[in-house]
Chain A
């Protein structure tokens, strides 16, 4: 039981890296980027092939996963910005092509990493800590470093322009910023993080699988939604940018904890995607419904007066 939860927490943190990527597109640019399902698997596949077939250093393999994810994001970005394909469709196109590309990269649908070195095993061997503990610590360090870097980046001139793009494109263009460029950067950066997450997850679970990214975007959205709820439950509402990034990763951890609990309760693992979709759908419905109720109540009051 305890082990299951410990595993869920470390899994949640590693997937939290992906959630940070999804946060950039979904919350800052208001794009639900479906590339994510493909680029997460791409990160995993690239990492696995480099480790198993080419004996590359596990850290370098993670860099390669990141780079591969960035390329995937740039393709979606180019389809969307240069050719005006709607963002959702551009993401789907890249995602579908990545399925074939990932199979080509791996040459088969699954690569186990049982005999190869990985970052978690290396550190575990060096420190004598349990691998599950190492996995959690590495996740925390990586996530913290990424949150700090993202906080810095989105405070820079380019980063501010990027945040403004999600807010008001007309204004951004009027201020001399090419919104195609900012969107391209955002999608590239976002999928770079997703690719990195794919590599980390692959090394942590010790295999890469063609289907490892399926539904990743929903996990990402669910984690963001849970994180927002957590943020609102916290006194002070956590509105600052850095705390919103932290709550996105926290949301990911909570998501995997919920998952571990319902699995312990005997739910079929395959039903988890349904549960995730319901969580996201509910989270999207609730504000709309409460707003409608508020308006109806306001009318009723007006009628009484």
Chain B
């Protein structure tokens, strides 16, 4: 479903701030893979997701989605393959627009937009139904402005928007990091339900080792712009936090895994 080969991305090349964010990264995802991604700050997790989404051009390598080489496509042109949820709950929704209008925009992801009315009556019914599966009571607030919702509600809505039209690949970039623990747990549970229901191929970046181990069928660990550990299936099921910590220490050498990882 997704193939990354030899991806290289350097930020601020030729300056003192030069940073090799991705250093010959290779990754292949089979259809239905639910991969959790962990790694310290600056390991290249978000850069990898942004490279897939086409937020910036990469310096070398190719990105293949659903058999198509998308390396040279712009961010909007790749959108038809991708559902995305960002870390910041404000980034996934349009605050001044109604809940149903946001969903209608998302339902047309990657499609040509014309002068047809932006939202139809049947759609509204579908959205009401889809919103009720979130269990947040949003189904009775279709005409409310999204700006009135809490961060957790907005993130759940973004998740629904990202999967309303089934994506070939779902990219979750620490999508619960900005939420309080209870809300984060709720959004993660919704993530699990939605991904399983639609059998979505998913890449989920997280700072929480427990979630990384518990969720998905495959786990990768990144360090210095490469994948240093890749485990799936039975082996992943038997994985413990101590194993991951050991891997981290191995990768990080003297500079032990950073604080946020230890807290996870």
- Asked if A145 is at the interface of the complex by the 8 Å CB criterion, the answer is no
- How far does the Cβ of A148 sit from chain B's closest Cβ, in whole Å? 14
- Interface pair B118/A156, CB less than 8 Å apart: yes
Q: Is the C-beta of A168 less than 8 angstroms from some C-beta in chain B?
A: yes
Which chain B residues lie closer than 8 Å to A163 at the CB level? 94, 96-97
Contact call A171/B93, Cβ cutoff below 8 A: yes
Most buried by B among A153, A175, A179: A175
Q: Are A176 and B77 in contact (CB under 8 A)?
A: yes
Task: Report whether A173 and B104 are in contact in the complex, using a CB–CB cutoff of 8 Å.
Answer: no
Residue pair B91, A171 in contact (C-beta under 8 Å)? yes
For residue B64, give the distance in angstroms from its CB to the closest CB of chain A.
19
Give chain A's interface secondary structure class. Answer: helix
Cβ-defined partner of B105 (8 Å) among A153, A155, A160, A166: A160
How far does the alpha carbon of A285 sit from the alpha carbon of B111 in the complex, in Å? 41
Give the size of the chain B interface in residues (CB under 8 angstroms). Answer: 35
- In the complex, which of the residues B90, B95, B108, B118 contacts A175, with contact meaning CB atoms closer than 8 Å? B108
- Select from chain B the residue with minimum beta-carbon distance to A170: B91
- CA of A179 to CA of B75, assembled, Å: 10
Select one of A160, A164, A166, A175 contacting B79, CB under 8 A. Answer: A175
A177 CB contact (under 8 Å) in B76, B116, B161: B76
Residue count of chain A within 8 Å CB distance of chain B:
23
Map CB proximity to A onto B76-93 as digits: 1 under 8 Å, 0 otherwise.
110110101010001111
Asked if A211 lies at the interface with its beta carbon under 8 angstroms from chain B, I say no
Q: Is B45 an interface residue (CB 8 A)?
A: no
Answer whether residue A161 sits at the interface, using C-beta atoms and an 8 A cutoff: yes
Q: Complex: how many Å from CA A176 to CA B94?
A: 15
> How far does the Cβ of B173 sit from chain A's closest Cβ, in whole Å?
11
| Known contacts A176-B77, A176-B80; 20 further A-B pairs (Cβ under 8 A) | A155-B117, A156-B118, A157-B116, A158-B113, A160-B101, A160-B118, A163-B97, A164-B94, A164-B97, A168-B92, A168-B93, A168-B94, A168-B95, A171-B92, A171-B93, A174-B53, A175-B79, A176-B109, A176-B110, A177-B105
What are the 3 closest A-B residue pairs judged by CB atoms, nearest first? A176-B79, A167-B94, A157-B113
